[in-house]
A and B are shown apart, each in its own frame.
Chain A
Amino acid sequence: MQDQHTSDEESKQGGSGGEPLPAAIAAALGSRITEGAVVDGVVHITVPATEVIEALRILAFEMDEPYSHLSDLCGVDRPDCIEVVYHLFRPLSNDACVVRVKLPRTNPHVPTATVLWETANWAEREAAEMYGITFEGHPDPRRLLLPDDISGYPLRKDWEYPQDHPYLRREPLHEEFPEIVGRVRAEAAPAEDERDGNSK
């Protein structure tokens, strides 16, 4: 099944362990792939941000057995970069192709995949607000899930809880309502002593 020529080519491109890429994908995408490997039967490829839409288009529409089902799109914060991960499947099949794009931590940009699937619309809005990724050409780049006044990108590893945001207030209750908590504690304290006394 594996074409010797392309698998040689693939090893030159520096696969990150696992088996070499299937010939069809290696042939279709060629030098667009910067990293590629097959792990547990799942094809993993990494492409540059500028090439990703073209690579996805080829995978989804131009191959003999296209990966036309975009199952999911999400961001990942890696130690060295921000990733966008596209999970593609062949329709009615378990053949998976995971496409990644590695982006710099400062000002990450990637073209939007909404031109191929509307699926990507909300998924990209979520990734944008959670990781600070700009999806160029997105038709509706508003926030999706988070409140408008939250600062920073919550799913980044270096994000810190804003102490002053009313939704994310982390002070313990007794600091906010000292009288009530004090009264409840005072009422609860003797009863607890009594119970202890009885049990002894």
Chain B
Amino acid sequence: METRSDLRTEELLINMGPQHPSTHGVLRLVLTIDGERVVQAVPHIGYLHSSMEKIAEAKTYRQYMPFADRYDYLNAMGNELAYVRAVEKLCGIEVTPRCEYIRVIMAEMNRIASHLVYFGTLGLDTGSWSPFLYCFREREAIIQLFEDTSGQRLLYHYFRIGGLRNDLPSHFCDKLAEFLDYFPARINEYNDLLTNNIIFQRRMQGIGYLSPELCRRYSVTGPNIRGAGIPYDIRRVVGYSVYPELEFDIPTRPEGDAYARHLVRVEEMRQSVRILKQCLEKLPEGEINVKVPRRLKPVVGEVYERVESPRGELACYLISDGSEKPWRLHWRAPSFYNLQVLPELLKGAYVADTVAILGSIDIVLPDVDR
């Protein structure tokens, strides 16, 4: 570490992580602190690097499907959506309306589940245990529906190129409608526990300030940029799948601090409920799969397919050389770019706020490392 000549007090180097419960995985932060303040933070990543992009070049387009689940494990359905949309665009496959609706239902349910994990773990990071347990109770209801549909609880492998593995089980719509009825009241409950708690508010307000200019320089996306007042949401900007047919608001907050990002995520859960209700109403009958050739050989070309993951702009960059395997696959992982801004947010912050600021960015480490 470099030494500085203008030191006032002795600076201390603290190594936080990789095995730290508040780093949401294996992130290592090397903090230089001056008293209680962070002078410099250097994130070290790569502990979970799993060569997702190299693996893609050795697999066929179909064989890679399960890998798409496995890097941002809290948003497995959303990752699958990005990947199948990229492959389908490359091959010129158009899926059925029912399939599109089911995909959006799955992606939005996953968004709620992911935000619930965020909500709970942020509570843990700031010293409140109970919200975590309540959030996981509601998440369990969603996971149960995923399990009934796909047979899996975390890594679903439910989407297929040109369709889905199977149609929804018969009880799915009723169960989901029931969940959507009671869930908004549960959000109020969580807010009473955490969001409206004065201790939590004092803790979160005014820390980790993210300005719109910082968002541009670091390409911050997702609820983080919306917490800085910019209504940037790929669902609206690109209008992929059936999102243009659905009514929803893009919640933003002008403050740009950790609490604003928190409020945006809470409001997003309500908007997801709104989207899901409309999807259930509009869900068309019909086929879920279209015919796709057994040997999938896209034309030579490339696509850059963006979707809105719970963490921000998720894109799958896929290059085809006309063979059965992708020539190159690159994930534009939202956590990777959002984490990069962390040293800026930590400058001058209290050491105790480090975990709260990190929690408010909401990263998933396998998504960072891929």
Contact = CB atoms under 8 A, between A and B. Distances in A.
Interface residues of B, number: 33
B119 interface: no
Contacts of A87: 304, 315, 317, 332
B305 to A, nearest CB: 11
B218 interface: yes
A19 interface: no
Contacts of B237: 92-94
Contact of B332 (A39, A72, A147, A157): A72
B330 interface: yes
Contacts of B218: 117-119
A72 B46 contact: no
Given A91-B232, A122-B336, A145-B369, A71 B46 contact: no
B315 A146 contact: no
B46 A119 contact: no
A147 B51 CA distance: 12
Given A92-B232, A119-B337, A146-B49, A71 B54 contact: no
Contacts of B319: 76
Contacts of B111: none
B96 to A, nearest CB: 22
A70 to B, nearest CB: 5
Interface in B319-370: 319, 328, 330, 332, 336-337, 340-341, 369-370
Interface in B233-271: 237-239
Nearest to B48: A145
B216 interface: yes
A146 B54 CA distance: 13
B217 interface: yes
B217 A117 contact: yes
A70 B330 CA distance: 15
B369 A74 contact: no
Contacts of B317: 72, 74, 85, 87
B226 to A, nearest CB: 12
Contacts of B313: 71
B45 interface: yes
Interface string A131-150: 00000000000011111000
B223 to A, nearest CB: 16
Contact of B238 (A76, A94, A122): A94
Interface residues of A, number: 33
Contacts of B46: 143-147
Contacts of B340: 118-119, 121-122
Contacts of A76: 319, 328, 330
Interface string A15-48: 0000000000000000000000001001000000
Contacts of A74: 317, 330
A68 B328 contact: no
Nearest to A69: B219
Contact of B216 (A69, A77, A94, A145): A69
A101 interface: no
Contacts of B301: 39
A96 interface: yes
Contact of A155 (B45, B53, B341): B53
Interface in A36-94: 39, 42, 68-72, 74, 76-77, 85, 87, 91-94
A71 B332 contact: yes
A76 to B, nearest CB: 5
A14 B358 CA distance: 48
A69 B230 CA distance: 13
A80 B304 CA distance: 22
Nearest to A168: B51
B249 to A, nearest CB: 15
B54 A154 contact: yes
A135 B332 CA distance: 20
B219 A71 contact: yes
27 contacts: A42-B304, A69-B216, A71-B219, A71-B313, A71-B332, A74-B330, A76-B319, A87-B304, A87-B315, A87-B332, A91-B232, A92-B230, A92-B237, A93-B237, A96-B304, A98-B304, A118-B217, A122-B340, A143-B46, A144-B46, A145-B49, A145-B369, A145-B370, A146-B49, A154-B51, A155-B53, A157-B57
Given A68-B216, A146-B46, 18 more contacts: A39-B301, A71-B315, A72-B330, A87-B317, A87-B332, A91-B232, A92-B231, A92-B232, A94-B237, A117-B216, A117-B217, A118-B341, A119-B217, A119-B218, A121-B340, A122-B340, A143-B46, A145-B45
Task: Give the top 8 A-B pairs by smallest Cβ distance, nearest first.
Answer: A145-B46, A119-B219, A72-B332, A145-B49, A74-B330, A94-B238, A118-B217, A76-B328
